[in-house]
Amino acid sequence: MNVLLDHLPEFREGFIGTILLTLASGALAMVLGIVIAGFRVSPVPPLRFFGAAWVTLFRNTPLTVLFLVAWFVVPVIFMPGLSPWTKALLALGFYTSAFVCEAIRSGINTVPLGQAEAARSIGMTFFQTLRLIVLPQATRTVIPPLSSIFIALTKNSAIAGAFSVTELFGVQKLLSDKGFDIAWIFLWVALGYLIITFTISGLFRLLERRLGVAR
Amino acid sequence: MTEVSVTKDAKPAADDLVVLKGVNKHFGALHVLQDIDMTIARGEVVVVIGPSGSGKSTLCRTINRLETVDSGTITIDGKPLPQEGKELAKLRADVGMVFQSFNLFAHKTVLENVMLGQTKVRRTAKAEAEAKARTLLDRVGVGSQADKYPAQLSGGQQQRVAIARALAMGPKVMLFDEPTSALDPEMINEVLEVMQQLARDGMTMVVVTHEMGFARSAANRVVFMADGRIVEEAVPDQFFSNPRSDRAKDFLSKILHH
Ligand SMILES: Nc1ncnc2c1ncn2[C@@H]1O[C@H](COP(=O)(O)OP(=O)(O)O)[C@@H](O)[C@H]1O
Ligand SMILES: [Mg+2]
Question: A208 pLDDT exceeds 90?
Answer: no
Q: Which range among A148-162, A169-183, B112-126, B184-198 shows the weakest confidence by mean pLDDT?
A: A169-183
Cβ distance of A119 and B105 shorter than 8 Å? yes
What pLDDT does residue A15 have?
A: 86
What pLDDT does residue A53 have?
A: 97
Nearest to A121 among B90, B97, B149 (CB): B97
Give distance in angstroms: CA of B47 to centre of ligand 1.
19
* Interacting residues of A204 by C-beta distance below 8 A, sequence separation 6+: A143, A144, A146, A147, A150
What pLDDT does residue B6 have?
A: 45
> Could you give the CA distance from residue B179 to residue B51 in angstroms, rounded to a whole number?
16
Nearest CA residue ID for atom 10, ligand 1: B27
**Chain A interface, mutation test: which of B58, B66, B68, B107, most A Cβ atoms within 10 Å?**
B107
> How many CA atoms are closer than 13 Å to the CA of B134, on its beta-carbon side?
7
Cβ distance of B89 and A136 shorter than 8 Å? no
Confidence of residue A25 (pLDDT cuts 50, 70, 90): very high
- Reduced to 3 states (helix: H, G, I; strand: E, B; else coil), residue B19 is strand
ipTM: 0.89
A114 touches chain B (CB under 8 A): yes
Q: Nearest-CA distance from B163 to chain A in Å?
A: 11
Q: pLDDT tens for residues B94-153?
A: 999 999 999 999 999 999 999 999 999 999 999 999 999 999 999 999 999 999 999 999
Question: For residues B171 and B96, is the Cβ–Cβ distance under 8 A?
Answer: yes
Confidence of residue A214 (pLDDT cuts 50, 70, 90): low
Confidence of residue B10 (pLDDT cuts 50, 70, 90): very low
> What is chain B's alpha carbon radius of gyration, rounded to the nearest angstrom?
18
What pLDDT does residue A188 have?
A: 84
| pLDDT average, residue stretch A166-191 | 81
| pLDDT average, residue stretch B218-227 | 96
What pLDDT does residue B258 have?
A: 55
| pLDDT average, residue stretch B226-241 | 94
Cβ distance of B101 and A136 shorter than 8 Å? no
Give chain A's domains with CATH numbers.
Answer: 2-211 (1.10.3720.10)
Measure the CA dihedral B78/B82/B87/B93, to 10°. Answer: 60
Confidence of residue A173 (pLDDT cuts 50, 70, 90): confident
What pLDDT does residue B83 have?
A: 73
Task: Identify the closest residue of chain A to B109 by CA–CA distance.
Answer: A215
> Could you give the CA distance from residue A29 to residue B65 in angstroms, rounded to a whole number?
35
What is residue B231's DSSP assignment? E
Q: pLDDT tens for residues B27-85?
A: 999 999 999 999 999 999 999 999 999 999 999 999 988 999 999 999 999 888 877 67
- pTM (predicted TM-score): 0.86
> Could you give the CA distance from residue B8 to residue B39 in angstroms, rounded to a whole number?
10
| pLDDT average, residue stretch A28-55 | 95
